[in-house]
Structure 1
Amino acid sequence: MTGFAKDFPILAQKVYGKRLVYLDNAATTQKPNSVIDTISDFYKTDYSNIHRGVHYLSERSSERYEKTREKVSDFIGARNSSEVTFTAGTTDAINQVARSLEPSLRGNEVLVTGVEHHSNIVPWQMAEAKLKAIPMDEDCNLLLDSVDITDKTKLVAISHVSNVLGSVNDIKEITEIAKDHDVPVLVDAAQSIQHLPLDVKDIDCDFLVASGHKMYASTGAGVLYTNDRFSDLMPAKGGGGMVDKVSLEKTTYQEPPLRYEAGTPHIAGIISMGASIDYMQKIGLEKIEKHENDVYSYARDRLLEMDNVTVYGNTTRMCGSISFNLDQVHHYDVGLMMDKMGVAVRTGHHCAQPLMESLTIEGTVRASFALYNTKEDVDRLIEGIEKVEMMYT
């Protein structure tokens, strides 16, 4: 293995006798040795529950947990670590915001885009809000001049990067439009936190959500950034750890962020996010972004050159994911055959059925990239597609 791939032990294996080419990173990323070692070391030396014990292991576990909060805070540009709540992932974070804002959302509107993941659709519907999409053109560029915010609009909830197309939305401009109407903004950064630098102060969003497992850390751990403006929200979950004083008559809550972290969290998973941030920062975020852009552009160009391939989306800025279909070949069949060639891609609607409906298709083949992918991986993808084409001609 060459480049960054050597840091990821899972990539050293062969699949059906061929070197594994892992192109399903929008679903979840692989883990570098440093993250794996951090998780193992935590369980071997420091494991204990946090915040509630005065003994040595609890103190050390709590210290590592809170140190991770500081790392995440710095990584996303928060003003202070109290703005960072740990969650079980992006979906959990969005659901928490939906539960907390439900009284104001019920019967009103949430403005989204037409490329949203179901996780940024269903929770708002469960809060009895009506969803309204920002219009987009045939290339899936958002038509920001057509943004329609009314007195019924109580929240703007937008993905930074589409998990299907790789389209990068101009979240700063959208936030500026929303703030002109005094409407809060939630940014779904699940598909951007591993690819693009984030600064919540510059974006000026009120909420930002992301998942650890998409940024080289463990599953079951995520981030909810909440602007101090919303620091007094009613907690969406109740239980141990988030309370100040409890009686049978009344309960008072801790100050943020602990008031939003009921119960025992996935401590090791959260600590692994600190290790993944350390890993990315050691390489350098600018270096990662440049490398990924080179690989992504190469992949997109190669796919667009193919006569029997349709590539979806063509926005001003793109990263992460590319969705395509082969003429006359079902996307599921393509995925199965690519797997036999050692290339892991995703097929289906990618939890974005409204987008598929607007594109008038059932699903796509999706190749999604991470820092360990190379142009050689792209060549393997193209080679696989060509072999699939030959089987059907």
Structure 2
Amino acid sequence: MTDFKKDFPILDKEIYGKQLFYLDNAATSQKPNLVLDTISDFYRSDNSNIHRGVHYLSEISSEKYEKARQKVCDFIGAGNPDEVTFTAGTTDSINQVARSLEPVLKGNEVMITGVEHHSNIVPWQLAGAKLRAIPMDFDCNLLMDSMEITAKTKLISISHVSNVLGSVNKIKEITGIAKDHDIPVLVDAAQSIQHLPLDMKDIGCDFLAFSGHKMYAATGVGVLYTSERFSDIMPAKGGGGMVDRVTLEETTYLDPPLKYEAGTPHIAGAISIGAAIDYMQNIGMGRIRKHEHEVYSYARDRLLETDGVTVYGNTEEMCGSISFNLDGIHHYDTGLILDKMGIAVRTGHHCAQPLMRSLGTEGTVRASFALYNTKEDADMLIEGIEKVRMMYA
């Protein structure tokens, strides 16, 4: 099994005198040298604002920024780079769609799932929409036969992969149903962009949102893919850089994607997404998927075999995250003790309170995996869990 840890300098770090075992990748991923060097080189050598200057540094920065946009376009199989907007992250991307579609959504319904992150709940409520979830069973499989679309359903917005459970939703099946009713679909790909190959032409969604920091790039930057049929929606933000002509009476806008990128963007962040894509493609998404599947399956099996551990969710396809609790031990206490052993996990409701209520718990321990994790990380997690149980015996 390939070990990619050598590419990530932070993974050499010791925590409380112990080797770091980082299993909090659903919150944020660590950064490889290629990305770190790219960010540093930009600020050291090229730093300038884009699209607004004729001087050398501005032209170089603009070229690198637009090259990153093309890389994203190719990586997700978009039709052309004009469909790719750089944002502040998944949350910002979803909020931009909610604001742009608010006139349509207000007083109508947005269909979601029961495993959504708050970022795919709150923006629709702020837009005045009523939310309705696709029914699911106890294992969190979506019950597609019970998916009821009405005349008031104006958008379907679903996570590709649950940030809590690691369950993979059948988004292509959902987009197929949506097309039959001419309803647009937004896919939250924050937890899939780093794990699974994505092809917009194959998936057929109208919007796709993801964050750079979940895919080995910088924080504070993300992407919103918008299909060509929605290229004329109103921008959610206004300011410099996105206008064609401004008078005190009215404003006209540039063509997409600049129309949706008001103000100075996170230039270095966008370029870092391009570098992260280079890194993943140099390895190969198929190879990444195979490696992660082996580690994830091994970790999940070991957790299921461990006495006194409840593992949540069980769908046909899973990746990334595993949520569990130790019987009789609060999830926070478990996470705190694991931390002292150098094992970084996440505890709490993971910004998914409706899901927690359906699972009958206030929170869970979440171990989440990335391409640099190995079976040794899983073994250390199990060893840590056994120590926690011994302390509470």
Which residue identity does 1:37 align to in structure 2?
Answer: D
> Displacement, 1:307?
1.5
Match of 1:344 in 2: 344
Match of 2:113 in 1: 113
Match of 1:360 in 2: 360
Does structure 1 residue 56 correspond to structure 2 residue 56?
A: yes
Match of 1:98 in 2: 98
How do 1:124-143 and structure 2 match up within 5 A? 124-143=124-143
Q: Work out the CA distance in 1 between the residues paired with 2:285 and 2:120.
A: 27
> Displacement, 1:16?
1.1
Match of 1:79 in 2: 79
Match of 2:34 in 1: 34
Which residue identity does 2:132 align to in structure 1?
Answer: K
> Displacement, 1:185?
0.1
Which residue identity does 1:260 align to in structure 2?
Answer: Y
> Displacement, 1:24?
0.2
> Displacement, 1:100?
0.1
SS of alignment partner, residue 339 of structure 1: helix
Q: Work out the CA distance in 1 between the residues paired with 2:284 and 2:105.
A: 40
- Structure 2 unmatched runs, 5+: none
Q: Deviations over 1:90-131 (max 9, x none)?
A: 000000000000000000000000000000000000000000
Q: Work out the CA distance in 1 between the residues paired with 2:334 and 2:265.
A: 39
Q: Work out the CA distance in 2 between the residues paired with 1:242 and 1:147.
A: 39
Q: Work out the CA distance in 1 between the residues paired with 2:135 and 2:175.
A: 16
Which residue identity does 1:82 align to in structure 2?
Answer: D
Q: Work out the CA distance in 1 between the residues paired with 2:143 and 2:268.
A: 42
SS of alignment partner, residue 192 of structure 1: coil
Match of 2:280 in 1: 280
Which residue identity does 1:32 align to in structure 2?
Answer: P
> Displacement, 1:17?
1.3
Match of 1:261 in 2: 261
Match of 1:207 in 2: 207
Which residue identity does 1:128 align to in structure 2?
Answer: G
Which residue identity does 2:270 align to in structure 1?
Answer: I
Q: Deviations over 1:16-47 (max 9, x none)?
A: 11110000000000000000000000001110
Match of 2:244 in 1: 244
How do 1:367-382 and structure 2 match up within 5 A? 367-382=367-382
> Displacement, 1:171?
0.2
Q: Work out the CA distance in 2 between the residues paired with 1:203 and 1:145.
A: 20
Does structure 1 residue 150 correspond to structure 2 residue 150?
A: yes
Q: Work out the CA distance in 2 between the residues paired with 1:13 and 1:199.
A: 36
Match of 2:187 in 1: 187
Which residue identity does 2:385 align to in structure 1?
Answer: I
Which residue identity does 2:160 align to in structure 1?
Answer: H
SS of alignment partner, residue 3 of structure 1: coil
SS of alignment partner, residue 224 of structure 1: strand
Q: Work out the CA distance in 2 between the residues paired with 1:224 and 1:112.
A: 18
Which residue identity does 1:125 align to in structure 2?
Answer: Q
Match of 1:327 in 2: 327
Q: Work out the CA distance in 1 between the residues paired with 2:151 and 2:72.
A: 34
Q: State the identity %.
A: 79
SS of alignment partner, residue 172 of structure 1: helix
Match of 1:271 in 2: 271
Q: Work out the CA distance in 2 between the residues paired with 1:316 and 1:115.
A: 15
Match of 1:383 in 2: 383
Q: Work out the CA distance in 2 between the residues paired with 1:239 and 1:16.
A: 47
Which residue identity does 2:165 align to in structure 1?
Answer: L
SS of alignment partner, residue 145 of structure 1: helix
Q: Work out the CA distance in 2 between the residues paired with 1:284 and 1:16.
A: 35
Q: Deviations over 1:293-332 (max 9, x none)?
A: 0000000000000120000000000000000000010000
Q: Work out the CA distance in 2 between the residues paired with 1:116 and 1:362.
A: 16
Q: Work out the CA distance in 1 between the residues paired with 2:351 and 2:12.
A: 30
SS of alignment partner, residue 249 of structure 1: coil
Which residue identity does 1:66 align to in structure 2?
Answer: E
Q: Deviations over 1:224-258 (max 9, x none)?
A: 00000000000000000000000111100000000
Q: Work out the CA distance in 1 between the residues paired with 2:364 and 2:246.
A: 51
Q: Work out the CA distance in 1 between the residues paired with 2:145 and 2:198.
A: 24
Match of 2:305 in 1: 305
State TM-score, norm by structure 1: 0.99
SS of alignment partner, residue 298 of structure 1: helix
Q: Work out the CA distance in 2 between the residues paired with 1:289 and 1:98.
A: 32
Match of 1:226 in 2: 226
Q: Work out the CA distance in 2 between the residues paired with 1:289 and 1:17.
A: 32
Q: Work out the CA distance in 1 between the residues paired with 2:319 and 2:8.
A: 22
How big is the alpha-carbon RMSD for the aligned residues of Structure 1 and Structure 2?
A: 0.5
Match of 1:66 in 2: 66
Match of 1:174 in 2: 174
Which residue identity does 1:143 align to in structure 2?
Answer: L
Q: Work out the CA distance in 1 between the residues paired with 2:376 and 2:367.
A: 14
Q: Work out the CA distance in 2 between the residues paired with 1:235 and 1:266.
A: 18
Q: Deviations over 1:327-363 (max 9, x none)?
A: 0100000000000000000000000000001111000
Q: Work out the CA distance in 2 between the residues paired with 1:330 and 1:127.
A: 36
Q: Deviation above 3 Å: which 4+ runs of structure 1?
A: none
Q: Work out the CA distance in 1 between the residues paired with 2:199 and 2:171.
A: 11
> Displacement, 1:290?
0.2
Which residue identity does 1:385 align to in structure 2?
Answer: I
Q: Work out the CA distance in 2 between the residues paired with 1:277 and 1:301.
A: 30
Q: Work out the CA distance in 1 between the residues paired with 2:307 and 2:135.
A: 30
> Displacement, 1:3?
1.2
Does structure 1 residue 7 correspond to structure 2 residue 7?
A: yes
